[in-house]
């Protein structure tokens, strides 16, 4: 197990380095300098600014200097707003986005998992078709459509829930969490259905039934553990999707999180801000993928045995 974790950790390092390198050079070759949009500035001012942002150094030295900054946890200053830094924005936005993502994941896992398991217990009956059709709708209904529709129905016509904001009015976290989580609930429903169907036909389930265990114990104690492995493996990619989804959901509901900052930085062409945020988000995603792989391996005795023997 430790060997497996070690190998995966080592594999993550080149990925993160690749992300940093590609992002850095992409941003540097981007047309238009950071100050080109502004009025002509005095040469001295320009030189001072360039020195401040290290633009006077050769490209490769800029790169190594940036790596040095990153190693110290310094993601760089903002081009557009002097005095503000990427770290500050991450500090302000991350807790909000993390909370939103957590609720969304909760919605996804609980609703999706439940629907999938229920459907798998009686395949090809109404108990299977209805949740799975709803899941298909969930997959096909993108968040940028579902969000406005939910706002229209529950926020405007019915006037039950607030239409925007985060933590200002009670209940304003419900619609964003559902909007962000629903697509993943749908995927998880399909995954857990497929996983449970496969597991429930295994010999050890028959053994458990033959022992005389009540059906719910067979499902909960023996079925779920194997049947939910695909769901756990999916959580890593789902996390990446949730972050990207937060771009849209935070824009729709005007939530001051990382996703909204990222989109704003993209619009303002605030290169250092984009660079810093990309590096930060990417590292987070890579680490999350790692975590979900490890968790899945830990849940799967076959994989554990394979690495134990080596």
Partner 1 sequence: MTTEIITDIAEAEQGSSLWHDAWLRLRKNRLALAGGIILVGFSLIALLTPWIAPYAYDAQNLELGASPPSAQHWLGTDIFGRDLLTQIMYGGRVSLAVGFVATSVALLIGVTWGAIAGYVGGKVDAVMMRLVDILYALPFMIFIVLLMVVFGRNILLLFLAIGAVEWLTMARIMRGQVQQLRQQEFVEAAISLGLPPRTIIRRHLIPNALGPIIVYTTLTIPSVMLLEAFLSFLGLGIQPPQTSWGLLISYGAETMEEFPWLLIFPGLALTITLFSLNFLGDGLRDALDVRRSKD
76: its two tokens:
């760089």
- In the complex with partner 1, which residue's Cβ is closer, 14 or 212? 14
| CA angle (281, 54, 78) in 5-degree steps | 45
> Which conformational region is residue 300 in: left (phi greater than 0), alpha (psi within -120 to 50 degrees), or beta?
beta
Subset of 129-168 contacting partner 1 (CB under 8 A): 136-137, 139-142, 144-145, 147-149, 151-152, 156
| Binding of residue 248 to partner 1 (CB under 8 A) | yes
Q: CA-CA distance, 94 to 88, in Å (whole number)?
A: 10
Report the residue number, 213 or 290, with the smaller CB distance to partner 1: 290
Of the pair 181, 218, the CB lying nearest partner 1 is at 181
Among residues 65 and 140, whose Cβ is nearest to partner 1? Answer: 140
- How far apart, in whole angstroms, are the C-alpha atoms of residue 92 and residue 89? 5
Q: Considering only 101-109, 208-216, 241-249, 296-304, which stretch makes contact with partner 1 by CB under 8 A?
A: 241-249
Rule CB under 8 A: which of 33-62 touch partner 1? none
| Closest distance of CB 210 from partner 1, Å | 28
Q: Residues 181-210 vs partner 1: string with x where CB under 8 A?
A: ------x--xx--x----------------
3-state secondary structure of 215: helix
Q: Is 57 exposed, middle or buried (0-12, 13-18, 19+ CB in 10 A)?
A: middle
Kindly tell me which residue out of 77, 230, 257, 276 binds partner 1, with binding defined by CB under 8 A: 230
Residue 3 CB-half CA count within 13 A: 8
DSSP 76-120: -B-SSSTT-BHHHHHHHHHHHHHHHHHHHHHHIIIIIHHHHHHHH
- The minimum distance between CB 175 and partner 1, in angstroms, equals 14
Q: Is 247 in the site for partner 1 (CB under 8 A)?
A: yes
Does 23 participate in binding partner 1 (rule CB under 8 A)? yes
27 part of the interface to partner 1, by CB under 8 A:
yes
Rounded Cα–Cα distance for residues 210 and 201 (Å): 13
Instruction: Using CB under 8 A, count the residues that bind partner 1.
Output: 53
**52 to each of 85, 203, 260, how far by Cα in Å?**
13, 67, 27
Question: Which positions touch partner 1 (CB under 8 A)?
Answer: 11-12, 14-15, 18-19, 22-23, 26-27, 29-31, 136-137, 139-142, 144-145, 147-149, 151-152, 156, 187, 190-191, 194, 230, 234, 240-241, 243-244, 247-248, 251-252, 262-263, 266-267, 269, 274, 278, 281-282, 285-286, 289
């Amino acid at each position: 197990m430790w060997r497996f974790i070690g190998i995966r950790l080592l594999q993550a390092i080149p990925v993160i380095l690749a992300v940093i390198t590609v992002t850095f050079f992409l941003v540097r070759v981007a047309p238009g300098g950071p100050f080109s949009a502004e009025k002509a500035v005095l040469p001295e001012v320009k030189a001072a600014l360039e020195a401040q942002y290290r633009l006077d150094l050769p490209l490769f030295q800029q790169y190594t200097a940036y790596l040095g900054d990153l190693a110290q946890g310094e993601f760089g200053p903002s081009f557009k707003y002097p005095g503000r830094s990427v770290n500050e924005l991450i500090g302000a936005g991350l807790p909000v986005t993390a909370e939103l993502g957590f609720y969304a994941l909760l919605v996804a896992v609980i609703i999706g998992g439940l629907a999938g398991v229920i459907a798998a217990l009686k395949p090809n009956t109404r108990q299977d078709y209805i949740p799975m059709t709803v899941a298909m709708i969930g997959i096909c209904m993108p968040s940028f459509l579902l969000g406005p529709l939910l706002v229209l129905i529950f926020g405007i016509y019915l006037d039950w829930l607030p239409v925007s904001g985060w933590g200002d009015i009670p209940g304003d976290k419900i619609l964003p969490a559902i909007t962000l989580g629903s697509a993943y609930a749908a995927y998880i429903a399909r995954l857990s259905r497929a996983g449970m169907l496969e597991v429930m036909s295994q010999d050890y389930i028959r053994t458990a039934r033959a022992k005389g265990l009540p059906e719910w114990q067979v499902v909960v104690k023996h079925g779920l553990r194997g049947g939910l492995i695909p769901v756990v493996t999916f959580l890593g990619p789902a996390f990446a999707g949730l972050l990207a989804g937060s771009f849209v959901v935070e824009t729709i509901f005007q939530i001051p999180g990382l996703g909204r900052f990222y989109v704003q930085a993209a619009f303002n062409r605030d290169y250092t801000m984009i660079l810093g945020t990309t590096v930060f988000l990417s590292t987070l995603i890579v680490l999350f993928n790692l975590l979900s792989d490890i968790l899945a391996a830990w849940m799967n005795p076959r994989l554990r045995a394979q690495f134990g023997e080596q």
